[in-house]
Structure 1
Amino acid sequence: MSPYPKTISTLIAALSAGLIAHSAQSDTIYHGGPILSMVDDAPFLDAVLVRGDKIEQTGRLAELEVNCQTPCQKIDLQGRSLLPGFIDAHGHYTMTLDFLAYKNVASPPVGPVKNIAALIKQMQQQSQSSSKGGGEHWILGAGYDDSLLAEKRHPTRQDLDKVSTTQPVFIRHVSGHLGVCNSRCLELAGITADSKNPEGGVFRREAGSQQPNGVLEETALDAIHSVFPEQGLEEQLARIPELDKYYAQYGITTVQDGATSNTGLALLQQASQKQLLSLDVISYPYTAWADFSKYTPSAGAKQPYQNHFRNAGVKLVLDGSPQGKTAWLSAPYHHPPHGQGEDYQGYPILTDAQLEKQLTEFFNKGWQVLAHCNGDAAAEQLIQVMSKLKKKGVHLDRTVMIHAQTVRDDQLSRMKELGIIPSFFVAHTYFWGDWHRDSVLGLDRAKRISPLISAKRQDIKYTIHNDTPIVPPNMPLLLWTAANRETRSGKTLGQDQRANIKDALKAITINAAYQHYEEDSKGSIEAGKLADLVILDRNPLMIPPQQLKDIEVLETIKGGKTVYKRSPNTQ
C-alpha cells in the first residue's frame, strides 16, 4: 500500500467511514499486547487503566482490574501495540487547511505531476477561488517540485499563462518558500521590471532582461499577500473536523501550527471557542505576519489549553529552503541556481541586529522561539546572537532550531550549551536526498543532513518532523526515514547518521512533548498523564527497520476518546 493518496481530499473522503468519536467515559483497561511506555525505567507495560481523559494506573492486569470502576471496559489488544499518541514537532496546521483547497501539483507519491505539461493540465482542472479584494477569481495550486519535474526547472509565468491569461494563477513550491505567478498575478501584485528585490527575497528575472519570470523567492512572496484570495472564516471552520481526521489517521494527537498568520490565529481562536478541535493545536505566530497587539503577554510556552488550543511562542525565519536553493550555507551550493554565480551560498532573511532585537523582546516576554534554520550559516547566526544574549543574562530556555538540516558538529556542541533543541526534517533524506546529493550539497554535505547520530553523541534531546503540508504527516514513514535514510532511488544517504528505532520513537513522543513544555502531561504512558494513545498493527521495536513505513495506525485516542479508527475496508 502506498503511504500517500493521490490527493489529500481523496484521502479525507476515504477516511470518513472509518472515523468514530464516542463520549463514553467509563474506565478502560488496555492489555494483551506490547505497550511501549517511552519511559526508560519501565519501557514495557502489562496493562494500562484509563479513567476519563487521564491515565489512572499502569501495572499488572490483575491489579488494574481491582481498581477498574463499573462499568469497566477491557480492550484486548490481541498482539497489537499501544504507544503514546504521536506529537507533531513542527508543521503548519492552518496552512495545511488552505492547501486542502488548492490543486495538488506535487510529484509522486504525493501527487500526479511529472512534468510541466502535466502541471498545466492539472491546473486547468482547478476550480476558481474568489478573492475578497477586487472580485478577482484565482486559480491556485500547491506542491510543485522543480527537482522532480522532468525539465528540472521551475515553471514560469509563460507556463502558467497557458492556464489562463485573464485570471490570476499562482502555485506554491513544495518547500513553501517559493511560488510562481502568471502574468495576471504579477500585474495585480504590481511586480514589474522596475520592482526591486525585497530584503531577504528575490523576484527572479527572464534571461537577459529585468522582466520578472514569475518565480518569487522568500520575502518576495509578501508582494502578493495584499491581493491573494482568502477563504471565508465560516468555510474554514466547517473544514476543521476533516483536517483533524487527516492528522489523526497517522496517530497524531498534538499538532503544531508553526508560523501562524493573523487570519490563522483568528481561525484557531474561533475553532477553540466553538469547540471544533478534537486534537491539541499549538500555535507559534510568525513574526513577519503576526499582529502582536492581539498576542497578549500571558501567551507563552506554559499557557494552558482552551478547548484544545493554545499559543506557545513565536516563529522566526532566518533563511530559506535547501531544495529550493534559498537556504543560507557557509559554502557554495554544489550546483547554484540558474543565473547565480559559482560562489552563491543562499542568503539570510534577517540581519544580526534585527535578529538580536527580536530575540531580546521575545525572550524577555517569556515566549518560546522557534527559529527556522536550514543552512549552517543561518544556524551560525542564531548561535552567535544567542551566545551574545546569554552573556547579557537573557534567559534562553528551550529555543528550537527548526529543520537544522546542515548543522555541523561544532554547532551542535554550542547549541547544547545554549539549550537549543534541534528539530530535524529527516524526511528530506527520502523526498530530496537524491537532489541534495547530486545538485544542492554534493555527497559529503548531503550525507550529513539531519545528523541524528551526531546529536545523540552529544546527548542532545532532538525531535523529528514532517513539516506538513510540505510532506504529508505520515508518522510511520517519518520513523522509516530516520532509521533507514533511504532516498527515492533506493540509495542510503548517510549510513552512520541512521537512528535506532527507539530513539526515533522518542523523537515523536516524549522528546516532542519536552520541546513543547508538555512532558508532564504527554509523550509517555504514565499515571497522571493524558490518555493520548495510538494503537499500531505491530510493534515498531520488533520489526526490521525497512518495515517501519508499512506500519498501520489502527486507532488514535485523544484524552481517552477515539478520534480515529481504521475501517476494515481501508486499503
Structure 2
Amino acid sequence: MTTTVYVARKILTMNPSQPEATHIAVRDGRILAVGPEGAMKGLGEVSIDERFSEQVILPGFVEGHSHALEGAMWEHLYLGYFPRRDPDGNYWRGAQSVNAMQQQLRDHAGTLPPGEPLIAWGFDPVYFEGARLDRQALDAAVDDRPLVIMHASLHVMTVNTCMLHLGGLQRHVGIEGIMVGADGHPNGELQEMAAMHAVFETLGMNLFETVGSPETLWRYGRVARNAGVTTITDLYNPLTDEGIVALKAVTAADDYPVRLVPAMAALAWSVEEGIERLQACREQGNDKLHFGPVKLMTDGSIQGYTARLKWPHYHDGQLNGIWNAPPETLCEMVEAYHQAGIQLHIHTNGDEAVELMLDAVESALALWPRCDHRHTLQHCQIIDHAQLRRAAAQGLCLNMFANHLYYWGDIHRLHTLGHERSQRLEPLASARRLGIPVAVHSDAPVTPLGPLFTAWCAVMRETASGQVLGEHERVSVPEALEMITLGAAYTLRLDHLVGSLEVGKFADMTVLDQSPLDCEPKSLKDIGVLATILGGSVHVAE
C-alpha cells in the first residue's frame, strides 16, 4: 500500500499540540503521520514528494458560507461596482456609473437574439448617488426585451417595464416586496424571495435552482480550487431530485477537486417535506458530499435596505427591511428542525433578525434540550454585545461576513448604520472573547471567493477607501487562519475530518508561496495559492 510523504519548507497544521511540521505522510487519502523528517520512520515503503519543498502547506481552506451560484452567474452579464475575474480567468470591468451600466446593457443586448431575456447581476445601486435604480433607467437602456438585474446582495432585483408587464406584476401593487414609485405604480424593484420568484416563474427559469446543473458544480469546484478551498458549502440548495442526482454524480468523480456541503433551502419545502428530504439524503453522501444542514432565510441585506434592524433602524431614515416569511413561521421552523435533530444555519443580517432567532433557539432548547447542536447564525453583521452573550449561553456558532467590511463598510458608516454601529460590524474579537466558535466567509458570488482575502478583512478591517472600522474588533493572523480552516469546519460539523492536519483526517491541504505568519498582516491577501491537495491528490491552481 503506497504511502506518500510531502515535504514542505513549513507546514502550519492548525493542531495546537503540534503547530508546525515539515513532513506529512498520506495513505489512502488520509493523514498517516505529521512532524519532522524523523517522524516518518517506521511507515514502511514510502514515496517522497518534494515538489512543494520550498513552499508552505496549510490545512485546506474551508468556506463555510458561499453558494454554487458562483459557478452559474458568470453565464450572465456582470455589472458589479468592483472589477472581477470569472472562473476561466476572464476580466470583467463591471460598472462604476449608471451610464456605464446602461451602455453595457445595450452592448450585451446586441449580442442576443431578438426578444431573448437579458439577465445581468452584481449591480449595487447603493454606490451611486441619487434615486435608486428603477424601470425607467432600465428602459432607457433596453426596452425591447425582458431585462432582469440581480443586485449584488442577491436579495433584490430590478426589472424593466417589459418584464413587469410580462410577469403581470403591475397588477400586484401592495404586495410586500413589489416596490412602487411616487405615481403609485410598480417601479421595477423587487425585494426578497417571494417577489423575485414571480419573475423566475414567468421566465421559466430560477437562478437559485441552476445550482443543480453539473456544469455549474464543476465550475464551482474550479473556483474553489483556485482559491485554495478544499471544503465548500452551497448554503442555499433547493435539493431537488435532479439536483441531488447531480451532486452525487459530480462529487463521485475522482478529479472533482473539493468536498461539498449543500444546505437545504428551508423555504423551498414545507417543514414536513424538508425534514423527510434531509433525513433521506443523509445516507446518500460520499467522502466528498456531506448532506445534513438546513438553511433558513430570515431577513435580507443591509446595503439593500431589506435587513431587519432594531431601533433606530436605518441611519439615513430608510424604511426597515422585510422578512422572508412571517416571524412566527420562522420561529416554528427553528423549533421543528431542532426537534428533528437537524443543524440549522440561519441567515440573520440585521440585529432584529438576530433577536428573533435568539428567542426561537432559546425556546427550542427549553422544549428539547440538545448538547452540541452547533446551530449557526450566518452573517449576524451587527449583532450587539447583549446578543453575543445570549449566543454564547445558547451554544451557538457564528459565521460572520468579514468581506463586508471592505466592500460595504464605507456605505454602512455613512448611510445605513452610522458611526457607532459600524464599529461593531462583524464583532469577531468580542465573539472570541466570549468563547463563541467563529468562522468568516465570502458569501460568493456576493463577493469573490478567497479565504486569504477574507482573513485579511478580519485582521485589517479596512474599507475600500482605507478607513479602519472597529479597530478593537480586529483579530490576529493566527486567529483569522483558524476561522478559515478549523473554525469553519466546526460550524459544518466536519472538524473531525478536515480543518487541521492531524493523523486520521482527510489529507486536504493548501499550498501557498509564503507563510501567512511570516509576512506583514497587510500582505495576507496577496499570498499566492499554488495548489490544493484533496485526499492526497494534487490539484494545481490556474
Distance 2:468 2:503 in 1: 40
Conserved 8 A contact 1:48-1:58: yes
1:298/1:317 CA distance change after superposition, 3 Å = closer
Distance 1:44 1:167 in 2: 59
Conserved 8 A contact 2:173-2:180: no
Distance 1:388 1:509 in 2: 31
Alpha-carbon distance, 1:287 to partner: 1.7
Provide the residue aligned with 2:56 in structure 1. 81
Residue 113 (structure 1) aligned with residue 95 (structure 2)? yes
Residue 248 (structure 1) aligned with residue 225 (structure 2)? yes
Conserved 8 A contact 2:516-2:524: yes
Conserved 8 A contact 2:225-2:541: no
Distance 1:174 1:193 in 2: 27
1:112/1:417 CA distance change after superposition, 3 Å = same
Residue 514 (structure 1) aligned with residue 490 (structure 2)? yes
Greater shift, 220-229 or 113-122, is seen at 220-229
Counterpart amino acid of 1:431?
A: Y
Segments of 5+ residues of structure 1 without an aligned counterpart are 1-24, 338-343, 567-571
Distance 1:137 1:309 in 2: 36
1:204/1:445 CA distance change after superposition, 3 Å = same
Provide the residue aligned with 2:157 in structure 1. 179
Aligned-residue identity in percent: 26
1:476/1:62 CA distance change after superposition, 3 Å = same
Provide the residue aligned with 1:122 in structure 2. 104
Secondary structure of the structure 2 residue equivalent to 1:112? coil
Provide the residue aligned with 1:97 in structure 2. 71
1:268/1:221 CA distance change after superposition, 3 Å = same
Counterpart of 1:204 (choices 172, 179, 188) is: 179
Distance 2:7 2:162 in 1: 61
Provide the residue aligned with 1:383 in structure 2. 358
Distance 2:122 2:102 in 1: 13
Conserved 8 A contact 1:28-1:75: no
1:27/1:123 CA distance change after superposition, 3 Å = farther
Distance 1:298 1:31 in 2: 41
Distance 2:212 2:338 in 1: 36
Counterpart amino acid of 2:486?
A: I
Residue 236 (structure 1) aligned with residue 213 (structure 2)? yes
Distance 1:548 1:404 in 2: 24
Conserved 8 A contact 2:167-2:202: yes
Counterpart of 1:373 (choices 348, 359, 363) is: 348
Conserved 8 A contact 1:513-1:522: yes
Distance 2:479 2:438 in 1: 9
Conserved 8 A contact 2:109-2:142: no
Greater shift, 27-36 or 288-297, is seen at 288-297
Provide the residue aligned with 2:11 in structure 1. 35
Provide the residue aligned with 2:20 in structure 1. 44
Conserved 8 A contact 2:335-2:360: no
Counterpart of 2:166 (choices 188, 204, 214) is: 188
Conserved 8 A contact 1:325-1:346: yes
Alpha-carbon distance, 1:310 to partner: 3.0
Distance 2:332 2:386 in 1: 25
1:413/1:392 CA distance change after superposition, 3 Å = same
Distance 1:472 1:488 in 2: 14
Counterpart of 2:333 (choices 340, 343, 358) is: 358
Distance 2:307 2:210 in 1: 33
Counterpart of 2:432 (choices 444, 456, 462) is: 456
Alpha-carbon distance, 1:286 to partner: 1.3
Provide the residue aligned with 1:146 in structure 2. 125
Conserved 8 A contact 2:348-2:377: yes
1:298/1:180 CA distance change after superposition, 3 Å = closer
Distance 2:528 2:338 in 1: 41
Distance 1:329 1:278 in 2: 39
Secondary structure of the structure 2 residue equivalent to 1:67? coil
Greater shift, 454-463 or 233-242, is seen at 233-242
TM-score, normalisation: structure 2: 0.91
Distance 2:535 2:62 in 1: 14
- The structure richer in helix per residue is 2
Alpha-carbon distance, 1:544 to partner: 1.3
Counterpart amino acid of 2:324?
A: I
Distance 2:275 2:357 in 1: 24
Conserved 8 A contact 1:54-1:559: yes
Conserved 8 A contact 1:325-1:336: no
Counterpart amino acid of 1:333?
A: Y
Provide the residue aligned with 1:17 in structure 2. none
Q: How many equivalent pairs are there?
A: 525
Provide the residue aligned with 1:317 in structure 2. 297
Residue 306 (structure 1) aligned with residue 283 (structure 2)? no
Counterpart of 1:261 (choices 221, 238, 241) is: 238
Residue 284 (structure 1) aligned with residue 266 (structure 2)? no
Counterpart of 2:142 (choices 158, 164, 169) is: 164
Conserved 8 A contact 2:264-2:278: no
1:381/1:237 CA distance change after superposition, 3 Å = same
1:121/1:506 CA distance change after superposition, 3 Å = same
Counterpart amino acid of 1:81?
A: V
Distance 2:22 2:160 in 1: 60
Secondary structure of the structure 2 residue equivalent to 1:358? helix
Distance 1:318 1:298 in 2: 20
Secondary structure of the structure 2 residue equivalent to 1:416? helix
Counterpart of 1:395 (choices 349, 370, 391) is: 370
Counterpart of 1:336 (choices 314, 317, 321) is: 317
Provide the residue aligned with 1:443 in structure 2. 419
Conserved 8 A contact 1:129-1:138: no
Conserved 8 A contact 1:54-1:530: yes
Distance 1:298 1:103 in 2: 34
Conserved 8 A contact 1:269-1:309: no
1:307/1:32 CA distance change after superposition, 3 Å = closer
Greater shift, 375-384 or 58-67, is seen at 58-67
